[in-house]
Amino acid sequence: MAVTNESSGSHELHEIQRAGQSISLYEAPTSLARALDLLGEYGHRARPVAGGTDLLVELDRGARPGVDVLVDLGRIPGLDEIVVDDQSIGLGPLVTHNQVVASEICRTEATPLAQACHEVGSPQLRNRATVAGNIVTASPANDTISALLALGASVELTSASGRRTLPLDQFFTGFRATALNPGELVTRIIVPRLGAHARGVFVKLGLRRAQAISVVHLAAVVEFDGDTVTDSRIAVGSVAPTVILVPEARAALVSRTLGAAEIEAAARAVVDASTPIDDLRAPARYRSDVVGTMARRALGALARGEELATWPDHPPLLWGSGFDGSYPNHGEASIDDGTPVTASVNGRTVTAAGAASSNLLDWLRDEAGLTGVKEGCAEGECGACTVHLDGAAVMACLVPAGRAQGAEVVTIEGLATDDVLHPIQEAFVDCAAVQCGFCTPGLVMASVKLLEEIPDPDRRQVTAALAGNLCRCTGYNAIHAAIQQAGESS
């Protein structure tokens, strides 16, 4: 729909209706050396892609002028591994938030990081979005940054001329700015293990419980010798141009027991170190007040040993039954807009061009003719575009279409067999869980993965699983009933 500019009388597209930046080449190399060569060859025209959940939105908004080449790291073997030794946990640059959530060692030995990853977006988003992408975007609102700073993490950077390691607090150089040189990649995030004498916690305040950028986030790690605090790091986000460590809070705690007076002094130090601004999420004054409360609650939880009290028993990942967090490798891909992409879609081989400048949602709808998958927002917020990619539920609007080369994709059209509806589709009909129906394909695709993973989910698990699926007709009770009915009958 065009809008009329009243002063000129001309018809103009609204900002969000304009086509985003066009990509002319999508490269998916199978070695780090080749990825570095490509970044060197294309210079400022190229950007690396991990999950694409930040980059695709930025490109859609025209926020990366001059970029027309994507170098997807997703086909380089080994980059999605979590490697553990006696001292640390190493995260490869393709490790997703959901891989961290699913990792027992991350939950117990890097607790604030696991909690921060669990707070990012929605399950579908967390199946693509990576921790490395989160730190490179370097927004002060990015959740894993406070967790990693509190844990004392460092970052390994690799370029064509070599490798270096930086403590994470030296990685951030300003608002959304990092110490990465052009053509340099994050190749590992090294997280010291908490060990037996340290405890950590992450807390976040958003405007709602899921799919919410932080109003404030805070992570605290405290080391003990018996009851005495021997060290502490508290990091706070969304209260300054970068996520900040608060050394004054450490001074208030070290060599003391973690009692009410010490917690109050540390909370005061956190408030004093914060220099928030007013923005659309919260006024500065509110942030200043609430950050103190969050510090008190976080340190109180650590004092009581209750840092994992709210961690769910089985957080839904939307991995279903056949996916373990690592995507299969489909070999090298190099795609311009004339190059056909071949994928298995709903069990059929589909070959279509138009992938270089497209996302998977548009490619499925416009090139493969599968219009069951819907576009509600085109920026990862609504879940209407949920499909299964190599076994995991993802938001198709945030996946570069070239990623489908060689992959297995299932859309809503692939669920029914021989005109017999899938049990979840049946249950949606039985429970009248459909009003206008626009959100329904996405809800069904998410529910299929939930029930494969947790056949008898309780209400909290259903709510958590559907956190990324918005229904503007708001008939959530019937949707819950349908999923529970399908679960009971399976």
List the single partner that 437 binds among ligand FES, ligand FAD, none, CB under 5 to 8 Å by kind. ligand FES
Residue 376 interacts with ligand FAD (CB under 6 A)? no
Query: Which structure tokens are listed for 176?
Result: 């959304």
- Residue nearer to ligand FES on the CB measure, 384 or 467: 384
Residue 438 interacts with ligand FES (CB under 6 A)? yes
Residue 286 interacts with ligand FES (CB under 6 A)? no
Residue 183 interacts with ligand FAD (CB under 6 A)? no
Contact characters 323-362, ligand FES, x per CB under 6 A: ----------------------------------------
Residue 120 interacts with ligand FAD (CB under 6 A)? yes
Rounded distance, CA 478 to CA 78, Å? 43
Cβ at position 344, least distance to ligand FES in Å: 21
Q: Dihedral of CA 388/408/340/29: which sign? A: positive
Cβ at position 208, least distance to ligand FAD in Å: 11
Among 60, 68, 80, 143, binds ligand FAD (CB under 6 A): 143
Backbone angles phi, psi at 154, to 5 degrees: -130, 170
Contact characters 391-430, ligand FES, x per CB under 6 A: ----x-x---------------------------------
Residue 481 interacts with ligand FES (CB under 6 A)? no
List the single partner that 447 binds among ligand FAD, ligand FES, none, CB under 5 to 8 Å by kind. none
Cβ at position 464, least distance to ligand FES in Å: 17
Cβ at position 445, least distance to ligand FAD in Å: 17
- Residue nearer to ligand FES on the CB measure, 179 or 377: 377
Residue 92 interacts with ligand FAD (CB under 6 A)? no
List the single partner that 382 binds among ligand FES, ligand FAD, none, CB under 5 to 8 Å by kind. ligand FES
- Residue nearer to ligand FAD on the CB measure, 185 or 194: 185
- Residue nearer to ligand FES on the CB measure, 207 or 473: 473
Question: Which residues contact ligand FAD by CB under 6 A?
Answer: 47-55, 57, 73, 93, 119-121, 125, 128-130, 132-134, 136-137, 142-143, 180, 185-186, 211, 213, 379-381
Q: Which residues bind ligand FES (CB under 6 A)?
A: 375-378, 380-385, 395, 397, 434-440, 471-473, 475
